[in-house]
Chain A
């Protein structure tokens, strides 16, 4: 089975303190550690496990620049057979639909049986997978937390739904799936593995390689744009609620409601 996993390089939420930059138009990127989006990593591990059982190859692809190559290499150190970097100035500033358009063009030039994305990215909109499927007219399922290969035509998958229940579905190949965290236990990628793939070849594709009209992607074509970043109001230490227990409970309930703590 030929599996394509779409991955993305994002600031690592576990190892960074996300702060605003001075201009307020982005997060402070000095001193930021990037890594592969956590959901995408689960997707790659899942792909590796599928080909270990059913044979085939895993290709990882990302849309970005030179800096983004490092996540491709990391996933190749994990076991992916090929890495592909799709890069072009024209792609900068693409919104989710733009990214999906770009990936669609790449996919149509190749043959993949299964396309995986993560459910969402730390800075994304949980959209590329679903859009890609619609562009390609492939069946789609999101929040996938288990995959069973039934035969070369079909998969049996489960989706995570409310309350942690599992919705079982059968889905035809080729299809697009967005993968939820916890589907497996991703293997460890040691520093040694990363060093070993440091010099492997990673082909690049640009707009003309993919036959893309630059006006259909990139900043010009984007319909969803961030205008600024801001921080939700933070308090300094807890506000200790005062009053009788009853009064405190009432205040607390009011606060919980406004913060979405009560269903």
Chain B
């Protein structure tokens, strides 16, 4: 059985949610596996993080270097190419960093690369069987990958639920010295944090979408609070934009944006043809509408016949409680 590694992303001393998810994914590949965490970074926060990871991983390979203080995928790739054994299976989250890092890393490790895996069936000889999606999630495919010479696998965030288990008593192994001097043709400069006004709903995975049922501009805040609690963004149908309660950039529809979220909360939206034309892929649609005959219920997965002005705040409250 090949050894399984997991690359851990982190920010401000805290590990990304994917850290626990990658453990779950590793277990799907090999239930008996004891994955090894690989982390790059620099500084006191980083050291503390590595220690904290020992609760999840039996071994935490720490790669500390000043040049890795900011996660520049070009530098991280060079570091990992030296540290990670070539015939292992390396799991990386399929996010903005993982996308940047993994494909090129697979080439450097001379391993097979598999992208955006949503489900793992298991290892069969030297072959890993996984499930991927195509066409914005409209179809799924079973994929068979030859991992006999190693693999780098990008795991879709949220696809693998962390498994509750007793904390592991892992140890930190310092691999920093193996890395040597790192330089790359790409240099990090700075980050511009997006203002909350600059939300691009077409890139959002979860949307809380409102229609005329929101009734007044002041009630838009109800949707924003739910969105904040869910880690989502607020979008809307045309009448809301026309009433100038939200900016045009929030409109979903044939004359608005096309969105491909995983989850779409349609609150007080009737479900007109023009609106639904902007909803692509195969999102999980939750419809909340006072009118049981609203067309949205034809296309939604789950429907709730209730007054959104009362339902949403209660939902928000409950979600917050659970956090």
> What residues of chain A have their CB less than 8 Å away from a CB belonging to chain B?
11, 13-14, 18, 20, 27, 96-97, 100, 119, 122-123, 125-131, 133-135, 138-143, 156, 158-172, 175, 181-182, 223-232, 234-235, 237-241, 245-246, 248-250, 252-253, 255-256, 259-263
B104 touching A253, Cβ below 8 Å: no
Whole-angstrom distance between the Cβ of A193 and the nearest chain B Cβ: 24
For B304, the chain A residues whose CB sits under 8 A away are: 240-241, 248, 252
Would you call B107 and A11 a contact (CB within 8 A)?
no
Is B114 on the interface with A (CB-CB < 8 A)? yes
Q: Are A123 and B143 also in contact (CB < 8 A) when A131-B107, A239-B303, A241-B304 are?
A: no
**CB-based nearest B residue for A168:** B189
With a CB–CB cut-off of 8 A, which chain B residues contact A135? 107
Q: B100: which A residues are within 8 A, CB to CB?
A: 130, 140-143, 159
| Whole-angstrom distance between the Cβ of A132 and the nearest chain B Cβ | 9
Chain A residues, Cβ within 8 Å of B217: none
Please state if A141 and B107 are interface contacts (CB–CB under 8 Å). Answer: no
In the complex, B237 has a CB within 8 A of chain A:
no
Q: Is B230's CB under 8 angstroms from A263's CB?
A: yes
Give 17 new A-B contacts, CB below 8 A, not counting A130-B103, A224-B145. Answer: A27-B135, A125-B115, A125-B116, A134-B104, A134-B108, A135-B107, A139-B185, A142-B100, A162-B96, A163-B194, A224-B143, A235-B301, A240-B297, A249-B311, A252-B286, A256-B263, A263-B230
Q: How far is the CA of A159 from the CA of B280 in the complex (A)?
A: 25
B285-323 contact mask (Cβ, 8 Å, vs A): 1 or 0: 111000010001111111111100011001100110010
CA distance A163 to B194 in the complex (A): 7
B315, A138: Cβ atoms closer than 8 Å: no
Secondary structure type dominating chain A contacts:
mixed
Is there an interface contact between B302 and A142, defined as CB atoms closer than 8 Å? no
- Chain B residues lying within 8 Å of A249, measured Cβ to Cβ, are 311, 314-315, 318
Closest to B292 in A: A240
Nearest chain B residue, comparing its CB with the CB of A258: B161
- Report how far A163 CA is from B233 CA in the complex, Å: 10
Which residues of chain B are near A253, meaning CB under 8 Å?
315, 318-319, 322
Cα(A260)–Cα(B116), bound, Å: 15
Instruction: Answer whether residue B106 sits at the interface, using C-beta atoms and an 8 A cutoff.
Output: yes
Distance (Å) between the CB of B121 and the closest chain A CB? 10
Q: List 29 A-B contacts (CB under 8 A).
A: A13-B280, A97-B106, A125-B132, A127-B102, A130-B103, A131-B104, A134-B106, A139-B74, A140-B186, A162-B96, A163-B194, A164-B203, A166-B192, A167-B191, A168-B190, A172-B186, A181-B202, A182-B200, A225-B144, A226-B143, A227-B141, A228-B142, A229-B139, A229-B141, A237-B300, A238-B298, A238-B302, A260-B263, A261-B265
Nearest to B207 among chain A residues (CB) is: A261
Q: Tally A-B pairs: CB < 8 A.
A: 254
Range for the number of chain B residues in contact with chain A:
35 or more
- The answer to the question of B182 belonging to the interface, with a C-beta cut-off of 8 Å to chain A, is no
Given A170-B187, A225-B144, the answer on whether A262 and B95 have CB atoms closer than 8 Å is: no
Q: Does the CB pair A231–B140 fall under 8 Å? A: yes
